[in-house]
Chains A and B, each alone.
Chain A
Amino acid sequence: MTRRVFFRGWMYVAMVIPLALAAYTAFADPFESGGPIGSQTSDGYGALGPVVKQPIEFPHYIHAGPREKGGMEIDCMYCHTYARRSAVSGIPRLSKCIGCHQSIESVKDKPRIKLLFDYWAKQQAIPWKKVHDLPDFVRFNHERHIQRFIFKQDRPTREVCGYCHGDVASMTTARRVKALSMGWCVSCHEKDHKIDAVSEKTSHGPSDCWQCHK
């Protein structure tokens, strides 16, 4: 009999967890940052991805970071130029990196820049590793999101990219900080979003399965 009482008590505790998670999902801000390793985002799943070691430790904070912290505030889309016209944002071509760095004498001797010019000398593409990977059955489209939030709503690029990628401008190499899971996507699609910068009209993101699973 004692065993039975213990079992029931454990069950009540266990039932509270999904309820708490459901409440958290309903009210949490989907644009929150990931937090430390092991922390959970709105849909209750591990958000912060592992540290991905890249062939060159690219310092996003120098290129895109705020001026007051020594950054150059370069717009994300200056390098990730494909994001506004393709499903993928793409990695900038090597010639784009060299295009600027061949004229910046002050950092040419830095180890990372030397490595960059080594790849250029060999005319070899840098084998960057994918950080924000989605399962093969999911089709995310950068172009539609960028066109809607940056060009129609006129929001800052850093903020819009940050909805999904976190504040990359404060990172060295990028690291996943959002869950990128279906519940997390849907939580944003369910919100009201203004259709453009001037209108008060709002709409939701699509909720049809086939929009993402084709």
Chain B
Amino acid sequence: MSQSGINRRDFLTVLGLGGTTIVLGGCGNTSIESGAELVESYVQPENFVVPGVGVYYASTCAQCPSACGIMGRVREGRILKLEGNPESNISGGRICSLGQAAVQHHYSPDRLIKPMVRDNGSLQPTTWEKALALLNAKLAPAAGAGRHVWLTGPMSGHQQILLRNLVDVSVATDHVVYDALSTAVETSVNRKLFGVDQPVALIDKAALILSFGSDFLGAGDSPISAARQYARFRKAARRGLLVQIEPRMTLTGANADRWVPIAPGTEGVFALGLARELLQRKEYLGNFSAELLAAVEPYDKDTVSRITGVRADLIPHLTATLWEHTPSLVLAGRYPQGHAHGSRNTAAIALLNVVLQNQGKTLLRGAELPFPQMAPTAGDFKSFAELNKLMSAGQCRSILFHHTNPVYSAPAFMQFAENLQKVPFKAAWVTEPDETAMQCDLVLPLISPLEDFGTHVAASQPDGFEISIQQPLMGKLYADTRSFGDVLLDLLKQIKPDSYKSFPDYYAYLKSALINAKSAFDPQADGEEFWENALSSGVLRRPAPLLPLSAMEIKPEMIQQPAPSSIDVRYPFSLIPSVSPSFRDGRPANLPWLQESPDTLTTVVWDSWVELHPSTASAMQVREGDVLIIESAHGSIQAKAYLMPGLHPDSVAVPIGQGHESYGRYATGVGVNPLKILDPIFDQETGELALYATKVAIRKTDRNERISKDEGPTNLQQGRKLVATLAADRVDLAKETPIVIR
């Protein structure tokens, strides 16, 4: 070392000097760039605009059909953060994670900013003028035989009115509303049993909620509204009790006082067993027909226990608890609906509400809507399946997509993507290209919901009638993007110019339509004042009482349960494609905030996983992270094993939402899509897809990969026994010392 001229002391000295230089350099103002950015300045702003100070504007969240009122914090013309709008009866000033992530949807780097047209097999940029000329040519009445079909997600409000008007005046045109997670089975049962599509369930008025897989706090129809009611239900003088019965624990199940795992598809059997036990009491007997009483008679507690896998003593225990807690509320979620006997399964559960005489107490009829044409249209699967047949037969001339991604969400057995190729013209309106848009001939860029005007109406309105007003929270980010309302108006002007020529744009149409409707809300107000007030508060509300709900006659065949099926040795497990509150039908998977938010029950991030019950995993010698092949008769997927105690041992669950092939940089290539391997099983009454009826086999591979998750070991309390635990049914509360807080 000494021969080279540098000894150890020299080396350390130089190291010290170099370090000092680096530290001093690091403290410099290297990222200050004078003149590199523009300062936000205004010509003549409103008095309340102060640069650096946020201003809140009311609008409506468009991330799901709940129509939650939101407030957007805007600074220097940019939307920074969303909160709930306290004026809204639905959100009441609250917002969910899906709603929070709407900002990211708006600023996504993968936004489509130019119209694209297919040229020589690939999508190429074009202009709106050329795109609309092509669209008009393809939609012209003389362009060939077959139907034109608008395929959209669930809709409501004035955009729906415009689309219906367009469909009505166009030749050979249909509108199909598709929802991959449709609850059309429940709607059909409600119509038969109660005469309405969706009765209003008053969670906060119930003393006990018996929920059969209804994830009303997580991935339900309106989780914010339900969570607010649930808070009141829990805070009542007599704290409300929640009993959740389901094959795979949902977020609501995790909040329950008692969570009961049940064999998938046997929820109706349990409900009938409970009904039989309740009907032993004369107070519940009511005026049920002898046939109906005979139909529930075979379901004694031991038979029910054998079929469902639930302990027999739960039925008398639950009956006694229901007797002590009135009024109660029985809810049916997606799990019981997703089987070949889904309608009968759900009807058996709904029967409990009739037996427990909940109508008029916790289950009511919604208020009459003053504008029924604005009422939301929920999607279903049957119409979508019929459209698929039409496409397969070559009878669909054009298909126009908005707010839906069926190429991703349709099961593989439908061969939707292949049938789409038989349609001569396909167009999609998107903010960000997805799998469906990538197969279209014309892809048109939409403005984001935070840049758009609109009206939304929620399906479930527990307090009168409310229209949620959507207004832009900032100007357009991209000049070449357009509102879907403007597109519809332009198309209508081509067909019926006289009716729509007075509206230069969708804003003008919406303003005129709402001012015309002011008599239902504030007849005395001046038109402009009414409009300004509506934008300012974000809601238009009309108080209206809920109405009593009458029960129709229940026929025994409506609740008849199938005989227990024997185990298929080839496919011994039931597949549960679980619905996540964040990812729903997979469309929010392009939002990295949601990808990096830990799943509420497993804490897994940025991935798919397959849940196995620990006992099943032990029997199969599967460890966490083992890569498993989940194989149905219609396909297979691979995912890492996660051991989930909140699962029926005969089931495996894979969350829906991941597995995108072409949906921006954040969703593409992450995880797998369990919807692709579903079996073609449908509800026998409604024709809806049976989401939870697929049987699968599990095979191990020789790979084990680490699961990205936040939680530590759940069974060992970080390897130490930090808190002593005891099963809930082994606790005798009478012997516990109460904790007194002074």
Minimum distance in angstroms from A80 CB to a CB of chain B: 10
CB of A129 within 8 A of CB of B38, answer yes
Asked whether B718 is an interface residue with its Cβ less than 8 Å from the other chain, the reply is no
CB of B33 within 8 A of CB of A133, answer yes
Asked whether B508 is an interface residue with its Cβ less than 8 Å from the other chain, the reply is no
Count of chain A to chain B residue pairs whose CB atoms are closer than 8 Å in the complex: 119
Chain B residue contacts of A133, Cβ below 8 A: 32-34, 36-37
Asked whether A203 is an interface residue with its Cβ less than 8 Å from the other chain, the reply is no
Q: Mark B9-25, 1 if CB is under 8 A from A, else 0.
A: 01001100100110010
A82 partner, pick from B13, B14, B38, B51, beta carbons under 8 A: B51
CB of A45 within 8 A of CB of B29, answer yes
Q: Mark A9-24, 1 if CB is under 8 A from B, else 0.
A: 0010011001001000
Minimum distance in angstroms from A133 CB to a CB of chain B: 5
Asked whether A179 is an interface residue with its Cβ less than 8 Å from the other chain, the reply is yes
Q: 17 A-B pairs, CB-CB below 8 angstroms?
A: A3-B5, A7-B10, A21-B24, A45-B28, A46-B29, A82-B53, A85-B50, A86-B52, A87-B52, A88-B51, A90-B41, A93-B44, A94-B44, A128-B41, A129-B35, A175-B34, A182-B27
CB of A8 within 8 A of CB of B10, answer yes
Asked whether A115 is an interface residue with its Cβ less than 8 Å from the other chain, the reply is no
B24 partner, pick from A44, A87, A132, beta carbons under 8 A: A44
A11-B14, A45-B28, A93-B42 given. 14 additional CB < 8 A pairs?
A: A1-B5, A7-B5, A49-B32, A87-B52, A88-B51, A91-B39, A93-B41, A94-B42, A95-B43, A123-B44, A130-B35, A130-B37, A135-B32, A182-B27
B13 partner, pick from A11, A44, A130, beta carbons under 8 A: A11
Interface residues of B in 220-248 (CB under 8 A from A): none
Asked whether B31 is an interface residue with its Cβ less than 8 Å from the other chain, the reply is yes
Asked whether A125 is an interface residue with its Cβ less than 8 Å from the other chain, the reply is yes
Chain B residue contacts of A85, Cβ below 8 A: 50, 53
Given known A-B contacts A86-B51, A181-B28, A131 and B35 have beta carbons under 8 A apart: yes
Chain B residue contacts of A107, Cβ below 8 A: none
Q: Mark A99-128, 1 if CB is under 8 A from B, else 0.
A: 000000000000000000001100111111
By a beta-carbon cutoff of 8 Å, the part of chain B in contact with chain A is 5-6, 10, 13-14, 17, 20-21, 24, 27-29, 31-45, 50-53
Asked whether A176 is an interface residue with its Cβ less than 8 Å from the other chain, the reply is yes
Q: How far is the CA of A49 from the CA of B44 in the complex (A)?
A: 31
Chain B residue contacts of A91, Cβ below 8 A: 39-41, 51
Closest 8 A/B residue pairs (Cβ): A86-B52, A52-B35, A88-B52, A90-B51, A91-B41, A135-B31, A87-B52, A49-B34
Q: How far is the CA of A75 from the CA of B44 in the complex (A)?
A: 21
Interface centre among A14, A130, A135, A142, by most B CB within 10 Å? A130
Closest to B33 in A: A133
Chain B residue contacts of A131, Cβ below 8 A: 34-35
CB of A86 within 8 A of CB of B53, answer yes
Asked whether A212 is an interface residue with its Cβ less than 8 Å from the other chain, the reply is no
CB of A11 within 8 A of CB of B17, answer yes
CB of B50 within 8 A of CB of A90, answer yes
B29 partner, pick from A1, A120, A175, A180, beta carbons under 8 A: A180
Q: How far is the CA of A125 from the CA of B43 in the complex (A)?
A: 5
Q: How far is the CA of A134 from the CA of B29 in the complex (A)?
A: 8
Minimum distance in angstroms from A141 CB to a CB of chain B: 9
Q: How far is the CA of A3 from the CA of B7 in the complex (A)?
A: 12
Minimum distance in angstroms from A9 CB to a CB of chain B: 12
By a beta-carbon cutoff of 8 Å, the part of chain A in contact with chain B is 1, 3-4, 7-8, 11, 14-15, 18, 21, 43-46, 49-50, 52-53, 82, 85-88, 90-95, 119-120, 123-136, 142, 175-176, 179-183
CB of A125 within 8 A of CB of B31, answer no
Closest to B76 in A: A88
Minimum distance in angstroms from A38 CB to a CB of chain B: 14
Q: How far is the CA of A17 from the CA of B21 in the complex (A)?
A: 10
CB of A176 within 8 A of CB of B27, answer no
CB of A7 within 8 A of CB of B31, answer no
Minimum distance in angstroms from A21 CB to a CB of chain B: 7
Chain B residue contacts of A44, Cβ below 8 A: 24
Q: How far is the CA of A43 from the CA of B38 in the complex (A)?
A: 28
Closest to A86 in B: B52
Chain B residue contacts of A176, Cβ below 8 A: 32, 34
Closest to B20 in A: A18
Given known A-B contacts A129-B35, A130-B34, A179-B29, A7 and B42 have beta carbons under 8 A apart: no
Given known A-B contacts A11-B14, A93-B43, A94-B41, A53 and B5 have beta carbons under 8 A apart: no
Minimum distance in angstroms from B387 CB to a CB of chain A: 48
Chain A residue contacts of B17, Cβ below 8 A: 11, 14-15
Q: How far is the CA of A133 from the CA of B34 in the complex (A)?
A: 6
Q: How far is the CA of A91 from the CA of B20 in the complex (A)?
A: 40
CB of A52 within 8 A of CB of B31, answer no
Q: How far is the CA of A180 from the CA of B34 in the complex (A)?
A: 11
Q: How far is the CA of A142 from the CA of B14 in the complex (A)?
A: 42
Chain B residue contacts of A126, Cβ below 8 A: 41
Closest to A2 in B: B5
Closest to B13 in A: A11
Q: How far is the CA of A134 from the CA of B27 in the complex (A)?
A: 13
CB of B36 within 8 A of CB of A18, answer no
Closest to B31 in A: A135
Chain B residue contacts of A7, Cβ below 8 A: 5-6, 10
Closest to A182 in B: B27
Chain A residue contacts of B29, Cβ below 8 A: 45-46, 135, 179-181
Chain A residue contacts of B42, Cβ below 8 A: 93-94, 125
Given known A-B contacts A11-B13, A50-B34, A130-B35, A181 and B41 have beta carbons under 8 A apart: no
Q: How far is the CA of A14 from the CA of B20 in the complex (A)?
A: 10
Minimum distance in angstroms from A202 CB to a CB of chain B: 26
Minimum distance in angstroms from A30 CB to a CB of chain B: 14
CB of B20 within 8 A of CB of A130, answer no
Q: How far is the CA of A119 from the CA of B24 in the complex (A)?
A: 44
CB of B50 within 8 A of CB of A181, answer no
Minimum distance in angstroms from B1 CB to a CB of chain A: 12
Chain A residue contacts of B27, Cβ below 8 A: 43, 45, 181-183
Chain B residue contacts of A53, Cβ below 8 A: 35
